[in-house]
Structures are given as C-alpha cells and as structure tokens.
Amino acid sequence: MQHCRRPSYVAKPKPFHIVVNGLAGSGKSYVISIIEKMIQEYCISESATVSRPRKNLGLLKMAHTGKAALNIHGSTIHSALEICPDGNSSPNKINSFKLYTLRNRLNGLLLIIIDEISLVSHGLFQKINKRLNEILRTFDKSDTYFGGIPVIAFGDMAQIEPVAAKQVFYRPPGELFSLRHDLFRPINFDINMRQGNDRLFFDCLCRMRMGCLDDQSEILLKSRSIREQDNPEGFKDRLKELNSPEFEDAMYAYGTRKLTNARNITKLKKHALDTKNPIFMINAVDKVAMVDTSFFKSSNRGGPFYLTGLN
C-alpha cells in the first residue's frame, strides 16, 4: 500500500506491473482476496478524512470469461471496459455518454487485477491498455500504460490458451516493445496448497500440465476409469461409486462433448426437480469472425430462449 500511502509533497511513484504465474492450487485466488481486503481497509480509513469516497473501493477485478470473473467476484473484461469481442488490437469506439459513465465508475481507481491471464490474447491485452488510457485521459502520454494504474495479472501460462488468437506474450515481427515482456515483472508461485497431502496426484497433475504424461501417471488416471478396457480390475467398483451419494456432486471428466452434455442434462433436470424450478435454455450465438468457419457452423446457431417442461 506504499503506492497509496504517501504525503502530498512526495512525488507519486511509477505504477507497478506484475504478472503472478502459478499452477492450480498455488494460492493465486487467496492472494487476490488478501489484496482486496487490504485495499478495502485503506479506502475505509481514507473515507473518514475525505468527502467523496472512492468508487468500487479503488479496485477493478476482471477476467476473460464469466466463470473466471465470478470466481473472484469481478467483471468480465469486455463488460467492465465496454470492449467488443472482435479480432482487432484497438478497442471499439464508444459514445461520449458511455465514456463518461466509465470515467465516473473508475474514478479513484488504485489497482487493477486481471485473473486467468492465459486466456487473454495479445490483441485483447492491447485493447485493455488503450481503453484504460482513453478512460483515464492518458492516451497522449507515450510512457503511460493502463491509464497510469498499477496492474497485477494472475494465471498459469501452461493452462488454456486464447481461442483462435495469439497468446498474451506474443511479440509481432518488428515490434520493439511488448507490454507483457518489457513492462510486467514476473512472480512465480511454485508450492501447491490444494493437493498438499496427496503428492502422488499432485505430481501427476504437474506432468499433465506440461504435456509429459508417463506410464505411472496413465495407470493412476485409468484406475479411476469406469470403462472395462481402461480399468479391467476396478471398473466395477468405480461404477458403484458413480451411483453412490458420496460421488453425487463429484466432478466428472469426459473425453467427448456428447458424454459431457448428457451428464450436464441429467444433473440439470435433477436440480430442477429437487428445487421445483423450470429449466431455461438459451442457444448461444457466436458473433465473432470465426462463426463462418467450418468447425463452428451449425444448423441451429441460436434463437430466442424457451421454457422446457419437467415432464
């Protein structure tokens, strides 16, 4: 908090830019919650001496997907900064009212947190920088990035990559300066806190993470399989577990979308019957350029939502 706590006669320090890289379970989400608590406590103490308290308690938390944003109680990057999902590296133009709203909402910002940075593409990262410079009126300063606000990015670069786009650390040919390489200081979290008591499973996850699955790991994973060809000695026990109350809320890993959808529909219908709630189904519409590719073409790409009965 030294970036915030300073006498008025002391020059404002340059904003820091940090990328925290760590495998799953290394405590990244916990660190985000601690940082949020520290900033909240500072803003609460500050509000006792100022007439206008900071909006959002001085913190903007963002992630690429809705689920990732929900995990940190934040917003998606596109909704937080009014960015359209397209393939450009410059943000879409917004009208003066939206720009005024964003400036009012982000007034008094102390820190920006971006989670799941591996999903953020090079182009989207450029958009975030340019949009923040536009909102905070620093676009005319060549040595100012992200509106002059400190940024901490969290993620695991060995996890899922951006969809149909270059990774965040991509440096285009001829580009002398890279936001990710030349601006951000890396910090690595190497200790796993989630599987601390299950070293065998943890080591297996680490090898899978780097694409180095060995025979021992394959045997370990197949021992949990419900298919006879994968697990001839233990598949019957796994099938019994599958239908037991103990594993009712367990996470299931499938190799095909068909099996995944079947499991999801089963769980969704059970939840609807237990809670006496209807099921709403909405067909997603892909409005990005790749909607015209053969992989994404479908006979039913979207439409209005409808109510499905529980009979």
CATH (domain of 35): 3.40.50
DSSP state of 121: B
Q: Is 149 helix (H, G, I), strand (E, B) or coil?
A: coil
- In-domain check, residue 1: no
- In-domain check, residue 196: no
Give the per-residue pLDDT at 287: 63
Please, are residues 279 and 272 in contact by the beta-carbon 8 Å criterion? yes
Please count the other Cβ atoms lying within 10 Å of the Cβ belonging to residue 116: 22
Q: Are residues 66 and 179 in the same domain?
A: yes
pLDDT: which is higher, 1 or 146: 146
Q: How many domains does the chain have?
A: 2
Q: Are residues 44 and 170 in the same domain?
A: yes
Give the per-residue pLDDT at 8: 55
Q: Does residue 2 carry a pLDDT above 60?
A: no
Give the per-residue pLDDT at 45: 82
Residue 102 tokens read as 């964003």
- In-domain check, residue 221: no
Report how far residue 250's alpha carbon sits from residue 242's, in angstroms, rounded to the nearest whole number: 9
In degrees and rounded to multiples of 5, residue 212 shows phi and psi of -120, 55
Q: Does residue 307 carry a pLDDT above 50?
A: no
pTM reported for the whole predicted model? 0.73
Q: Residue 167: which domain range?
A: 17-189
Q: Does residue 6 carry a pLDDT above 60?
A: no
Report how far residue 140's alpha carbon sits from residue 232's, in angstroms, rounded to the nearest whole number: 67
Q: Are residues 137 and 256 in the same domain?
A: no
Which candidate, 94, 112, 110, 111, places its Cα nearest to that of 102?
Answer: 94
- In-domain check, residue 158: yes
Longest dimension (CA), the chain: 74
* pLDDT grade for 302, boundaries at 50, 70 and 90: very low
Report how far residue 116's alpha carbon sits from residue 114's, in angstroms, rounded to the nearest whole number: 7
Contacts of 129 (CB under 8 A, 6+ apart): 145, 146, 179
Q: Which segment of 62-76, 153-167, 297-311 scores lowest on mean pLDDT?
A: 297-311
Residue 116 tokens read as 């799941």
Please, are residues 125 and 175 in contact by the beta-carbon 8 Å criterion? no
DSSP characters over 187-244: EEE---SSSTT-HHHHHHHHHHHTT---HHHHHHHHTT---TTT-TTTHHHHHHHHTS
Q: Is 32 helix (H, G, I), strand (E, B) or coil?
A: helix
Interval 145-158 mean pLDDT: 93
Q: How many residues does the chain have?
A: 311
Give the per-residue pLDDT at 38: 92
Give the per-residue pLDDT at 90: 80
Report how far residue 103's alpha carbon sits from residue 138's, in angstroms, rounded to the nearest whole number: 12
Helix intervals (H) in 136-174: none
Q: Are residues 156 and 83 in the same domain?
A: yes
Q: Which segment of 230-234, 247-251, 287-291 scores lowest on mean pLDDT?
A: 287-291
DSSP state of 56: G
Q: From 158, 189, 220, give the residue that closes a domain.
A: 189
Which candidate, 108, 104, 93, 89, places its Cα nearest to that of 149?
Answer: 108
Q: Are residues 176 and 284 in the same domain?
A: no
